[in-house]
Amino acid sequence: MQLALTEDELAFRDELRAFFRDEIPADIRNRARHMAELSKDDIVTTQRILHAHGLAVPNWPVEWGGRDWTPIQRHIWHDEMQLASVPEPLTFNANMIGPVIAQFGSQEMKQRFLPATANLDIWWCQGFSEPDAGSDLASLRTVAVRDGDEYVINGQKTWTTAAQSADWMFCLARTDPDAPKKQAGISMLLFPLDSPGVTVRPIELIDGGFEVNEVFLENVRVPADQLVGAENQGWTYAKFLLGNERTGIAAVGQTKVRLWLAKEYAKQTRLDTGTLLDDPVFAARIAELENELLALEIVQMRVVAGSADGAPNPVSSILKLRGTELQQAVTELFVDIAGPESLAAEADTADWARRSTATYLNYRKTSIYGGSNEVQRSIIASTILGL
Ligand SMILES: Cc1cc2nc3c(=O)[nH]c(=O)nc-3n(C[C@H](O)[C@H](O)[C@H](O)COP(=O)(O)OP(=O)(O)OC[C@H]3O[C@@H](n4cnc5c(N)ncnc54)[C@H](O)[C@@H]3O)c2cc1C
């Protein structure tokens, strides 16, 4: 196992670094860097530039826009994108439904959806979770009943991220209520959100933002050729998809940028004795976070270096767990640096300070989505520690 980059990998990194700096609009990167809200247009514009240069979906098969990169090259691409604060390709498209269609869809389905998915001409949302089916996803109760050459869907999805911006949903629904195991009777269906019978209702989050929704499905008719793969095989496709979801969720590059920003803000914060960054207790806290992040980065490099066969690695659960804990720790750091200004509404309060409390609250989500951290601990206990 080689953790240092080779000459070729360093050249590859420098090329990407220059591309992200020169080709992705600075105003978009600046908004992302300072955790301001990105518009749909920011995300679409970025993904289309990336895709035009073969940099949106490198994880896909080459014939559909992927790159024949090594795992290390893919890691460098992802890390550099985060370090440059480039909004990442929409995960629902690039990491979720795209790879599923490429792997399990018919040739017609691939031709119909993959080019538009890579270029973000279709914005997808993920219709998996339901009011009583989150961690225990296989308990989902939304049903799809075959009627001639259509399916008729009834049920409710919840926590559907960005459904308000989305064009299509990939949805899990029960097609065989009598299957011997609840996992066995589930299918994956694709439909546009403007289909008759679909109602999207926003959910306000703790930070006052509206990024998730409830989606009600009432007699939604879906042509049978929008079934992914085979009927009742949806659980296999969902597991494949959820394995990809955890890829990159550690966000090491992004946390590095935020720690760097935290130090800049601390340097601008005056105390009687100097700046906040000179305060030994504060400096020790920063050093501890930097060490934790370095340890995480090394684990990530080891996972990447050892994953050439593409098999899922249970260590990705550690990356998810520690990565999200560190993301949350840094948002807490911003609130502490801002102090009372984190609650201020005055016009002369710095934007980052005013946003810090909302960001801190918003980031509580990271330990819930992508498989809650409690569930990751169980995976680590059973598959890594053998408990
Ligand atoms: C911001 C946000 C965005 C999301 N976006 C989407 C989306 O776009 N599409 C989508 O389909 N879903 C989405 N989700 C849903 C997400 O996948 C679920 O919230 C998650 O799977 C947890 O399910 P739950 O909310 O039903 O909680 P529950 O499963 O009810 O869990 C409640 C608590 O119990 C714990 N728990 C549950 N089971 C176990 C266990 N076996 N062992 C130990 N502890 C356990 C959990 O860790 C949690 O703390 C999103 C969630 C959030 C917060």
pLDDT digits (tens, 9 = 90+) for 111-143: 999 999 999 999 999 999 999 999 999 999 999
- Are residues 41 and 134 both part of a single domain? no
Show the tokens assigned to 153: 């869907």
Assess whether pLDDT exceeds 90 at residue 312.
Answer: no
- Are residues 302 and 211 both part of a single domain? no
Model pLDDT, residue 311: 59
Model pLDDT, residue 1: 47
Query: 203, 368, 377: which to mutate for ligand 1, most atoms within 8 A of CB?
Result: 368
297 is known as an active-site residue? no
Given 232, 260, 282, which residue is the final one in a domain? 232
Total structural domains within the chain: 3
- Are residues 220 and 255 both part of a single domain? no
What CATH number should be reported for the domain holding residue 194?
2.40.110.10
- Are residues 75 and 141 both part of a single domain? no
- Are residues 45 and 76 both part of a single domain? yes
> Would 221 be classed as within a structural domain?
yes
CB distance 250 to ligand 1 below 6 Å: no
CA atoms within 13 A on the CB side of 11: 3
Show the tokens assigned to 263: 């130090």
- Are residues 77 and 168 both part of a single domain? no
Assess whether pLDDT exceeds 50 at residue 102.
Answer: yes
Looking at every residue in the chain, the average pLDDT score rounds to 94
Residue with CA closest to ligand 1 atom 31? 135
> Would 69 be classed as within a structural domain?
yes
Q: Are 57 and 94 spatial neighbours (Cβ–Cβ below 8 Å)?
A: yes
- Are residues 330 and 212 both part of a single domain? no
Assess whether pLDDT exceeds 80 at residue 243.
Answer: no
pLDDT digits (tens, 9 = 90+) for 8-65: 999 999 999 999 999 999 999 999 999 888 999 999 999 999 999 999 999 999 999 9
Average pLDDT on 329-350 reads 91
> Would 105 be classed as within a structural domain?
no
pLDDT digits (tens, 9 = 90+) for 179-196: 999 999 999 999 999 999
Assess whether pLDDT exceeds 90 at residue 4.
Answer: no
Average pLDDT on 141-153 reads 98
Residue with CA closest to ligand 1 atom 52? 369
How far is Cα 267 from Cα 280, in angstroms, rounded to an integer? 13
> Would 113 be classed as within a structural domain?
no
How far is Cα 363 from Cα 207, in angstroms, rounded to an integer? 9
> Would 27 be classed as within a structural domain?
yes
- Are residues 290 and 205 both part of a single domain? no
Which of the four pLDDT bands, split at 50, 70 and 90, describes residue 3?
A: low
Q: How far is the CA of 324 from the centre of ligand 1 (A)?
A: 14
What CATH number should be reported for the domain holding residue 297?
1.20.140.10
Given 232, 263, 281, which residue is the final one in a domain? 232
Neighbours of 342 (CB within 10 A): 20
Average pLDDT on 367-379 reads 94
- Are residues 201 and 79 both part of a single domain? no
> Would 67 be classed as within a structural domain?
yes
CB distance 365 to ligand 1 below 6 Å: yes
Assess whether pLDDT exceeds 70 at residue 162.
Answer: yes
Domain that residue 57 falls in: 7-89
pLDDT digits (tens, 9 = 90+) for 245-301: 665 678 999 999 999 999 999 999 999 989 999 999 999 999 999 999 999 998 888
CB distance 305 to ligand 1 below 6 Å: no
**CA-derived radius of gyration, the chain:** 22
Q: How far is the CA of 28 from the centre of ligand 1 (A)?
A: 31
Q: Which residues of 26-39 are buried (b: 16+ CB within 10 A; e: fewer)?
A: eebbebbbebeeee
Model pLDDT, residue 370: 86
What percent of the chain is predicted at pLDDT more than 90? Answer: 85
Q: Which of 80, 88, 211, 245 is catalytic?
A: 245
Given 204, 232, 260, which residue is the final one in a domain? 232
Model pLDDT, residue 2: 53
Query: Locate tokens 């959100």: which residue?
Result: 193
